Amino acid sequence: MLWLLPTLFVASVLAFLLVRLVPGGPAAAACGTECTPQQQARIEKAMGLQRPLYVQYGDWVQGLLRWHLGPSLASGSPIQDQLRTAIPVTLELGLLGMAFAVLVALPAGIACAVFRDSPLDYAVRVTSVGMLAIPTFWLAILLIALGARFSVWAPPLTYVPLTNNPIANLKLMWMPSLLLAISLAGTLTRLVRAEMLDVLRQDYIRTARAKGLREAPVVINHALRNTLIPVITILGTQVTVLIGGSVILETIFNLPGMGRYLFASVVHSDIPVIQVINFLGAALVVSVTLLVDVVCARMDPRIRLG
């Protein structure tokens, strides 16, 4: 866990500096091509770009720690107020997508390993490859078009928070969550199958079978626990994929989450918002990695936290 603070420091420096490498600087990017020198100077003053770089960075980090992130250049409203409504949407989308992926991948991968080289095994393996190959954005647009064409399903026009109306919220969120889960479910299914096959060859599994235990308790009580550790590790590394997928799906389904907020900020060259979201994304990845390490250490005492 000693790597946590240095990693967050490097992430904050990169998030702060990378947006300043755009041609002409962040003020020119925010101002646009038809901006006059006077307008650009006003934006530089509003963003505090005339001060030394280390002073700008110190003030920005202080704002992060106090959760006072300043105004958005595009809307003028405080960034923290917009994030307060956007973060729960993205978290709900990511958690639902991850839950759907695990609910599909675990039983499918276990069944493939138990019934190795059977028609079921081949069918699931081919399906998992297809799930990895299908572009999520294309499938999302196709399903919306088909649902509207045959009057089966269409996404609601407005977002309803989960706390206000859970039924209306789930009517909107189930489709993007399933689409977000497709690629992850394909990856996890293949991983669970491979890990389960490896575990089922171990000596302690043969011993359990020799004692007369039925196959179901052997698989669930003995093999599954050791299979879950690499699965949890892969789930942690897939957070970046879920973040990237949320940008596309939130834009397509008009969800007011972090992904759509980031997309709109890039379109409008809203530099303060871009650097804050970049850092929050990096902090999320670091936090999930730490959580994965802790969970794996609790499941396997041989793993030590460093």
pLDDT tens, the chain, 306 aa long: 567 788 888 888 888 887 777 666 666 666 666 677 777 777 777 777 777 778 888 888 888 888 888 878 777 788 888 888 888 888 888 888 888 998 998 889 888 888 888 888 889 889 888 888 888 888 888 888 887 777 766 666 678 888 888 888 888 888 888 888 888 888 889 888 888 888 878 777 777 778 777 777 777 777 777 788 888 888 888 777 777 778 888 888 888 888 888 888 888 777 888 888 888 888 888 888 888 888 877 776 666 665
Residue 131, both tokens: 């799930």
CA–CA separation, 46 vs 48, rounded Å? 6
CA–CA separation, 134 vs 136, rounded Å? 6
Q: Of 289, 103, 256, 113, whose CA–CA distance to 182 is shortest?
A: 103
41 found inside a domain: no
29 found inside a domain: no
Q: What is the pLDDT of residue 301?
A: 65
Structurally, how many domains does the chain consist of?
A: 1
DSSP string for 182-238: HHHHHHHHHHHHHHHHHHHTSHHHHHHHHTT--HHHIIIIIIHHHHHHHHHHHHHHT
Q: What is the pLDDT of residue 34?
A: 67
Q: What is the CATH number of the domain that holds 101?
A: 1.10.3720.10
Q: What is the pLDDT of residue 113?
A: 85
- Rounded to the nearest 5°, which phi and psi values hold at 76? 85, -10
CA–CA separation, 59 vs 66, rounded Å? 10
Q: Tell me, what amino acid is at 223?
A: A
151 found inside a domain: yes
Q: Of 81, 97, 95, whose CA–CA distance to 261 is shortest?
A: 81
CA–CA separation, 245 vs 270, rounded Å? 21
Query: What's the domain range around 226?
Result: 94-268
Q: Of 293, 170, 180, 277, whose CA–CA distance to 233 is shortest?
A: 293
23 found inside a domain: no
- For the chain, how far is it from start to end, CA to CA, in angstroms? 6
CA–CA separation, 157 vs 172, rounded Å? 9
138 found inside a domain: yes
For 202-241, b/e burial (b = at least 16 CB within 10 A) is eeebeebeeeeeeeeebbeebbbebbbbebbbbbbebbee
284 found inside a domain: no
Whose tokens are 């064409």? That residue is 149
225 found inside a domain: yes
17 found inside a domain: no
